[in-house]
Amino acid sequence: MAQRLQKELANFMRDPIPGMSLDRNLVEGNLNVWVINVDGAPNTLYEGEIFKLQFKFPQRYPFDSPSVMFIGNKIPEHPHIYSNGHICLSILTDEWSPALSVQSVCLSIVSMLSSCKAKSRPPDDERYVQTCRDPSDPKKTRWFFHDDSV
Amino acid sequence: MKVTIKGYTGVAVWKWVANDDTCGICRMPFDSCCNDCKYPGDDCPLVWGQCSHCFHMHCIMKWVNGNQKSNQSCPMCRQAWKIKEK
C-alpha cells in the first residue's frame, strides 16, 4: 500500500488537477491521511469558494476504497453532499475498483460539483446527519444510489 | 583473416508481452513484481482476463478474493473477471 500511495503522491504533485492542491503540512509524516484544498471552478456555482477534501486510506488500499469526505466549516452545498461532509458517490463504495486513484476520485468530485445546476442539500440531509453510523467515516454508511443526473 | 572463437558469454533479456506497461492495481511495471514479491518473472506472473486486461496474478487474486460482489469484475472495465486460458 505505501508504495502505491507514494506513486500516487508523486503523480498528484507532477500532474495536479486544476483547482486542487495538496495540503502539504498534513501529508508529511502520515501518508494515510491526505487533505486536498479544492477551489470552486470558475464559471460554476462554486466559483470563489474553497473547500477541504479528506482522504483516509485503509490498510488494504487499493483493494479497499479510501474514506473520502469534505471537512472543515465549509461543505459544498450540493444535492449529493450531506452537510456533515459525506458524499454520495458510487465509486467510493459499491463501485470502487483498485484501478481508480486519488486523481480519478478527485476528477469525479470536481465534475460532480461543476455540473451542478442548483445548490441544495440531499432531501434526507437532516435525518442522515443525525442518524449516520459514524460521522467521521462515510464508509460505515450503507449507501443507495438513485440519481445519476447530477 | 581467420578467427577462432575460444569462448563466449551468452546474455539474454526477457520481458512480458502485455498490452500495457504497468499493472493497473499496484502501479508497478509488469517487468517488475507486485508489492508483495521480491523477484519478477515466474515468481510473480501475469494473468490475462477474457476481457484482455492484464494484471500481476497476485494483485488480481487479492481483488477477486475480497468479499464484495463487485470484486468479481475486472478493475479496468468492470466486465466479469474470467482468466483467459492460453
Return the pLDDT at A28. 64
Q: Would you say residue B66 has pLDDT above 90? A: no
Return the pLDDT at A23. 85
How many domains is chain A partitioned into structurally?
A: 1
The arrangement of strands across the sheet holding A20-22 comes to A20-22, A33-39, A50-56, A67-71
Q: Would you say residue B63 has pLDDT above 80? A: yes
Please give the average per-residue pLDDT across A2-28, as a whole number.
85
Inside any domain, residue A21: yes
Cβ atoms of A82 and A129 closer than 8 Å: yes
Q: pLDDT by residue (tens digit) across A68-124? A: 999 999 999 999 999 999 999 999 988 999 999 999 999 999 999 999 999 999 999
Q: Would you say residue B86 has pLDDT above 80? A: no
Least confident of A22-26, A66-70, A131-135, B62-66: A22-26
**Cα A73 from chain centroid (whole Å):** 15
The three-state (H, E, C) secondary structure of A38-105, written as one string: EECCCCCCCCCCEEEEEEECCCCCCCCCCEEEEECCCCCCECCECCCCEECCHHHCCCCCCCCCHHHH
List the 22-61 stretch of B: residues with Cβ below 8 A of A.
24-28, 35, 59
Inside any domain, residue A150: no
Q: pLDDT by residue (tens digit) across A24-37? A: 766 667 889 999 99
Return the pLDDT at A25. 65
**Among the partner residues A7, A95, A97, nearest to B27 by beta-carbon distance:** A7
Q: Would you say residue B70 has pLDDT above 80? A: no
CA distances A19 to A25, A81, A111, B84, B86, Å, are 18, 19, 12, 42, 46
The domain spans of chain B are 1-86
Cell of A89: 458517490
Q: Would you say residue A146 has pLDDT above 80? A: no
Intra-chain end-to-end CA distance of chain A, in Å: 32
Contact partners, residue A86, CB within 8 Å, separation at least 6: A69, A128, A132, A138, A141
Return the pLDDT at B67. 66
**Cα A11 from chain centroid (whole Å):** 18
Intra-chain end-to-end CA distance of chain B, in Å: 50
Give percent helix, percent strand, percent coil of chain B, each to the nearest 5.
Answer: 15, 15, 70
> Measuring CA to CA, which residue among B54, B44, B41, B48 is closest to residue B14?
B41
Inside any domain, residue A148: no
Q: What percentage of chain B carries pLDDT values higher than 70?
A: 94
Distance CA B52, CA A111 (A): 29
- State which residue of chain B sits closest to A94, comparing Cα positions: B70
Return the pLDDT at B49. 94
Concatenate the DSSP letters of all residues of B18-44 into one string. -SSSB-TTT--BTTS--TT-SS-BTTB
- Count chain A–chain B contacts defined by CB atoms under 8 A: 34
Give the orientation angle of helix A2-14 with respect to helix A102-114, to 10 degrees: 50
Q: Would you say residue A41 has pLDDT above 80? A: yes
List residues of chain A with CB under 8 Å from any CB of chain B: 1, 3-4, 7-8, 62-64, 94-99
Q: pLDDT by residue (tens digit) across A46-55? A: 999 999 999 9
**Best interface-test mutation with B: which of A6, A92, A97 has the largest number of B CBs within 10 A?**
A97
Q: Would you say residue A148 has pLDDT above 70? A: no
Distance CA A22, CA A13 (A): 8
Return the pLDDT at B57. 95
Supply the range of the domain harboring residue A41.
2-134
Query: How do strand A50-56 and strand A33-39 relate by DSSP bridges?
Result: antiparallel
**Among the partner residues A7, A8, A62, nearest to B25 by beta-carbon distance:** A62
Catalytically active residues of A, by annotation: 88
Which residue shows C-alpha cell 472495465?
A: B77
Could you tell me the fold of the domain covering B1-86?
Herpes Virus-1 (3.30.40)
